[in-house]
Amino acid sequence: MNPYTKSNQAYKKAAVTTKDQGTLILMLYDGTIRYLKIAINKINKEDLEGAHNAISRAKAIISELMTSLNMDQSGRVGSSLKSLYVYMFNRLIDANIQKNASYIEEVCDLMSELRDGWRTVVNQKKEVAKNGQFNNRSEIKPLNLQG
């Protein structure tokens, strides 16, 4: 491994470990969407192995999103979100078996909607912090996901 690759990996790791939780979730959504678009492109080009690899990566990220949910604190919203993740994961299994791009597009649309909603939450939280509406970080309350 050349020294540039090693330093680039260290930079990426540092960038990820210093992000807040909301930004990390956005990064996971972005990564999933990116792999889904790659999978669609690969299916359209009849590159079945490439499609399989991209779908597998998207499934791995969705699996990580599922396992990182805190069901004790998230209530009904968390339960609904987990059900949606399970649906998307299973839809990607079907897409991978059938090499059906429309299934992947469906999952991509759902993931994009989740990403847009989460982006709004993250931006609002940053705006509150930036405007100094709280004197210190301990006064910022976590988002209550219970309906």
Per-residue pLDDT tens over the stretch 56-82? 999 999 999 999 888 777 788 888 999
Specify the higher pLDDT residue, 11 or 57.
Answer: 57
DSSP output for 6-36 = HHHHHHHHHHHHTS-HHHHHHHHHHHHHHHH
Q: What is the pTM of this model?
A: 0.75
Residue-range domain boundaries for the chain: 20-131
Question: If you compute the radius of gyration of the chain from its CA atoms, what whole number of angstroms results?
Answer: 18
Give the pLDDT score at 49. 97
Q: Are 28 and 65 in contact (CB under 8 A)?
A: yes
d(CA 146, CA 50): 40
Average pLDDT score over the chain:
83
Q: Are 84 and 29 in contact (CB under 8 A)?
A: no
Q: How would CATH label the architecture of 20-131?
A: Up-down Bundle (1.20)
What does the pLDDT average to over 22-33? 94
Residues 6+ apart with CB under 8 A from 64: 28
Per-residue pLDDT tens over the stretch 91-126? 999 999 999 999 999 999 999 999 999 899 888 887
Q: 């299934």: which residue's tokens?
A: 103
What does the pLDDT average to over 140-147? 55
- How far does Cα 78 stand from its chain's mean position? 15
Of the candidates 81, 55, 56, 68, the residue with the CA atom closest to the CA atom of residue 27: 68
